[in-house]
Each structure stands twice: as C-alpha cells, then as structure tokens.
C-alpha cells in the first residue's frame, strides 16, 4: 500500500499507484455491482491525477478543492438516463471534448458511468478514444458487467475488478472526506455494510442523523415506563396521514441496528453504533439477553409482515407494545 488515503480496495490502490508512478493508462474499465464504489474510486483517481500536492489526492491544493466543488474543467462525465441507457450524443460530445487540450491540468479524465447502458453504436462512437487516444486523455468506464461491452472496447482498457471496501477502508475514507464526521466514521462504516455510495449518502444526510437520535432516544425510552411506547410511536409517524416508505424503512433499520447491538453487547460481538456505545451500554444493562433478542425478533417480524394493505399504525403499536413487554421481561413469546 503506497497511499494511506484509503485501504482495502485493490482496484483503487492500483489506480493511485499508477498516478504515483507516472504510469496512468489511457483507458480503464472498473467492473463491479451497483453501490460497490466504482464512481467513488473513479472520482478519487481523477482527483489524484489532477492533484498538485505531495500525497495525492491531498484534499488541500486548488485542484483538489475544485474537484470537491465540482468545478474542475478537466474532468468530463457521462451519466446514464433514468432508464439506464447512455445517449450516443452524450458519448460523442464527451469523446470530442476529450480531444481538446486540458485547460488546467496535464491530463483530461472522461468518466462514463453506467457504461453497460451504451448501445453498440454508442460504444463505437467511443472506440476512437480507446484506439487512438490523445496523449493527454484517459477514459474510465464504470460497468456492472463488462460482458455488456463490445470486445473491441473490452480488450483495450485495463480491467479492474472492484471488491467491497472494508469497514476500515470506509472509515478512513469518511475521515478524509468528511472531517466533521470523524466521531461517527466507525458507525457510518459499519452501517453502510461496505457500500461506499451508501456511506457518502449517510455523511451528507443530516436528517438521517436527527432521525437516528430520535429513534435511539425512543428505543432507550422503551426500557422505561409505558409512556415510552407512545413516544416511540410518534417517531415512527403513527397517527400521521401518510408515512413515507423510505422513512419507515430507515426507522426499522435504525431500531434493528440498536437492538442488534444490545444483543451483541451481551454476547461480546462487534457493535454497529460505536459512537453511541455509552448509551448502548446503559440500555443493555436494563435488559436481559433474551429480552433484547425477543424485541429484535418483534421488529423483524413486523418488517416481514408489513405490506401496503395493512394498517400501519396498528402494526407499529403492536410491535412497540411487544418490544416494551419483551424488554421488561414479560415476554409474550414462548
Ligand atoms: Zn491535491
């Protein structure tokens, strides 16, 4: 590992090593499933290519700052349409622009996201950039399955297979990119489950952390008097006309991670909510291992059983009452 910016992602390490060694190629193809971090790796690579600092990307030089602001003129992007297709006009235009000399840096980078969505014609429009690239141009294709690319394209790029980022890798990434999230970096790394795109979403989503605070308070409240049930119901949106499905799912996910952590603490396993460990320990001290497990199962059953035809409020109240009983050791389970 040459660069300590991020660890645990060999494709990205290779790209950064090429920058460091001055052996940047004219064409790369990053392959891996959705959400694995292809885009993030390509962005970090582009930033490293343009960076004028010592350790690339340094995050501090003018080029790095322009990248962060999205204003660097020597990076070109093609994004897929909503239906996943990549427009041939967009590819043509970007390929033409690639031939114009870079404005600030020595190298221009063209990133084509969702390259699988290029028709044969669109790929042919790109082929020239692959076959006779300008000395100052690099094309990076992001693909979920390179079998969707023409053999002529496939054979000309350096193929790098993306693996999931490790939790430590995401933690390092979050700390480098979002210094204000340093305290929460361990939680973000665990909660995103190796999905760096998800980690970025979390870092940029203040509302998520507000909701998380409310839900953790609600979960702690369930270990107290019965009024905790109503307080938790309010956070879940019980009594509101319509509760957004995504909001609902986020509530479940947070509650599951909290209750799962309580079980883990009892069993000496790894916890997700590392930044809230003190509160978690206080919560876990009030309940038994079997109580925590039963409450966890109550929530899981509700998530599985819930569907559009059911009355949401009743399900949530039912779940919270069961949780309260289980947490207090009056288990309804047998
Ligand atoms: Zn820099």
Alpha carbon of 51 to ligand 1 centroid (Å) = 4
Distance from Cα 65 to the centre of ligand 1, integer Å: 7
Nearest to 223 by CA among 264, 160, 279, 306: 279
Neighbours of 320 (CB within 10 A): 26
Phi, psi (rounded to 5 degrees) for 110: -110, 120
- Is residue 191 a part of any domain in this protein? no
Structural domain span for residue 275: 205-327
Same domain, 152 and 219: no
Query: Is 180 a domain residue?
Result: no
Q: Is the model's pLDDT at 67 over the cut of 50?
A: yes
Q: Is the peptide bond before 176 cis (omega within 30 degrees of 0)?
A: no
Mean pLDDT of the 243-248 span: 88
Distance in Å, CA 45 to ligand 1 centroid: 11
For the stretch 257-289, what's the b/e string if a residue is b when 16 or more beta carbons lie within 10 angstroms of its beta carbon? bbbbbbbbbbeeeebbbbbbeeebeebbeebee
Residue 4 has pLDDT above 50, yes or no: no
Mean pLDDT of the chain: 91
Residue 62 placed within a domain: yes
* CATH number for position 268: 1.20.272.10
CA separation for the pair 202, 187 (Å, rounded)? 10
Report CA(114)–ligand 1 centroid distance (Å).
27
Q: What is the pLDDT of residue 311?
A: 86
- pLDDT-derived band of residue 3, with 50, 70 and 90 as boundaries? very low
Is there a single domain that holds both residue 222 and residue 130? no
pLDDT confidence of residue 2: 35
Number of neighbouring beta carbons within 10 Å of residue 74: 22
Question: Three-class SS of residue 145?
Answer: coil
Please give the pLDDT value at position 308: 64
pLDDT of 251 above 60: yes
Ligand 1 centroid distance, CA of 293 (Å): 48
Range with lowest mean pLDDT among 3-7, 108-112, 206-210, 211-215: 3-7
Q: What is the model's pLDDT at position 108?
A: 97
pLDDT at 197 over 50: yes
14 and 150 co-located in one domain: yes
54 Cα: distance to centroid of ligand 1 (angstroms): 8
Q: Where does a domain end: 130, 147, 163?
A: 163
> What is the 62 CA–ligand 1 centroid distance (Å)?
7
Higher-confidence position of 6 and 316: 316
Question: What was the pLDDT predicted at 332?
Answer: 58
Overall pTM surpassing 0.85 (yes/no): no
String of b and e for 44-73 (b: at least 16 CB within 10 Å)? Answer: bbbbbbbbeeeebbbbebebbebbeeeebe
The alpha carbon of 57 and the centre of ligand 1 are apart by a number of angstroms equal to: 5
Residue located via tokens 């938790």: 232
For residues 75 and 42, is the Cβ–Cβ distance under 8 A?
no
- Cα-to-centroid distance, 30 and ligand 1 (Å): 23
- Geometric angle at alpha carbon 308, from 305 and 310, rounded to 5°: 65
In this structure, what token pair is assigned to residue 227? 């009024």
108 backbone dihedrals φ, ψ, rounded to 5°:
-100, 140
The three-state secondary structure class of 139 is strand
Q: Residue 127 above 80 pLDDT?
A: yes
Q: How far is the CA of 12 from the centre of ligand 1 (A)?
A: 17
CA 67–ligand 1 middle distance (angstroms) = 9
CB-proximal residues (5 Å) to ion ligand 1: 51, 53, 58, 61, 64
C-alpha of residue 109 to centroid of ligand 1, in Å: 16
In a domain, 50, yes or no: yes
**Per-residue confidence band for 1, with pLDDT thresholds at 50, 70 and 90:** very low
- Give me ligand 1 centre to Cα 52, in Å: 5
| C-alpha distances out from residue 229 to 75, 172, 233, 311, 326, Å | 52, 38, 6, 18, 12
Asked if 221 and 323 sit in the same domain, the reply is yes
Over residues 17-26, mean pLDDT: 95
What's the whole-number mean pLDDT along residues 269-283?
95
Is pLDDT above 70 for 6?
no
Q: Under 8 Å CB-to-CB from 2, ≥6 apart: which residues?
A: 13, 16, 17, 20
Q: Which one has a higher pLDDT value, 239 or 5?
A: 239
pLDDT digits 0-9 by tens, 138-195: 999 999 999 999 999 999 899 999 988 888 888 988 988 888 999 999 999 999 987 8
CB environment 78-93: b (16+ within 10 A), e (fewer) = bebeeeeebbbebbee
pLDDT of residue 68: 86
Q: What is the pLDDT of residue 57?
A: 87
Judge if 221 and 151 occupy the same domain: no
Select, from the ranges 159-163, 242-246, 278-282, the one with the highest average predicted confidence (pLDDT): 278-282
36 three-class SS: coil
Supply the pLDDT for residue 330.
86
- Render pLDDT for 37-57 as a digit per residue (tens, 0 to 9): 899 899 999 999 999 998 888
**How remote is the CA of residue 50 from the centroid of ligand 1, in Å?**
7
Do the domain assignments include residue 174? no
What DSSP string describes 82-120? Answer: TTS-B-HHHHHHHHHHHTSPPSSSS-EEEEETTGGGB-H
Count of structural domains within the chain? 2
Say how many Å lie between the CA of residue 319 and the centre of ligand 1.
51
């Amino acid at each position: 590992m040459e660069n300590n910016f991020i660890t645990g992602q060999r494709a990205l390490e290779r790209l950064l090593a090429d920058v460091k060694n001055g052996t940047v190629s004219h064409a790369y193809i990053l392959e891996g499933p959705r959400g694995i971090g292809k885009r993030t790796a390509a962005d970090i690579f582009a930033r490293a290519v343009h960076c004028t600092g010592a350790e690339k990307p340094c995050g501090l030089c003018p080029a790095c700052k322009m990248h962060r602001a999205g204003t660097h003129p020597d990076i070109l992007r093609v994004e897929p349409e909503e239906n996943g297709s990549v427009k041939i006009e967009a590819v043509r235009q970007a390929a033409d622009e690639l031939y114009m000399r870079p404005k600030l840096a020595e190298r221009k980078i063209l990133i084509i996201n969702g390259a699988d969505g290029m028709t044969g014609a669109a790929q042919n429009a790109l082929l020239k950039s692959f076959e006779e690239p300008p000395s100052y141009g690099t094309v990076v294709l992001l693909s979920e399955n390179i079998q969707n690319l023409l053999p002529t394209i496939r054979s000309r790029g350096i193929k790098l297979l993306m693996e999931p980022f490790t939790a430590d890798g995401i933690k390092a990434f979050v700390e480098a990119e979002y210094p204000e999230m340093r305290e929460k970096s361990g939680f973000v790394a665990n909660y995103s489950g190796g999905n760096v795109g998800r980690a970025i979403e979390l870092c940029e989503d203040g509302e998520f952390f507000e909701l998380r605070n409310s839900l953790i308070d609600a979960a702690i409240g369930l270990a107290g008097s019965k009024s905790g049930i109503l307080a938790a119901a309010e956070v879940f949106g019980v009594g509101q006309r319509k509760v957004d499905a995504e909001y609902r799912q986020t509530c479940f996910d947070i509650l599951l991670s909290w209750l799962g952590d309580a079980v883990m603490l009892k069993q000496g396993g790894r916890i997700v909510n590392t930044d809230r460990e003190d509160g978690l320990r206080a919560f876990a001290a009030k309940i038994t291992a079997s109580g925590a497990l039963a409450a966890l199962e109550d929530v899981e059953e509700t998530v599985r059983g819930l569907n559009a035809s059911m009355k949401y409020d009743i399900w949530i109240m039912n779940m919270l009452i069961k949780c309260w009983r289980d947490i207090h050791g009056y288990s309804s389970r047998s």
